[in-house]
Structure 1
């Protein structure tokens, strides 16, 4: 499965850059990974949709569904079995996602009811995906 991370902006703080690099590298053991960084602008919807192409579109959004690590693992496995070769995870800018993007999404994922700083959300997303990947493989990281 290919995981495509589409972010408006990129991690700026040192801890987030290091966290991104660490979990991005770890995820590379389980998936093909790719990142597209978009510039922050009023409405990047069209750029996000172009970057995602035909991928299974899974933006992070506070209106989305909360998943446990195990549920995320199952969801990723189900997407892979459905024939989608790529999942595009989207982290929006400070204004979030447009209604158009939410409507075109296959699945809206909410990591928490809390609002995270952009840098932290990027790291938490990668760690959650790494944890879900270890669960799918029956590896002990998640314990």
Structure 2
């Protein structure tokens, strides 16, 4: 089997409108798809110019039965949803300053690591975000 790259990832969010506002207006991503499928809202965002998309998925059908969806929502609300995203940037410190000014929760200030310079943040639902300039 030959694979090339991942075209889509997903993270759990509790409120898709709030997630859309955060990822578009604070992080500068763009909407990929926003479609009402009847049984769910298919909402994706992406880095401008990139074809890889992030599904901002509200826990529930068809992926989970109602009981499982309730448990997943409880975990997400506690910041234990397990999702995280990593973004590449040419200027880690400028990205940090921009996100601080936008009110994004920072979990780990910029620092040099063995693999490059990066910092950590969190979205409104507890999903981890990393922003870095990976050199290794």
Whether TM exceeds 0.5 here: the answer is no
- Bigger strand share: 2
TM-score, scaled relative to structure 2 = 0.30
Rg (Cα) greater in structure: 2
Q: Which has the higher contact order (CA 8 A, sep 6+)?
A: 1
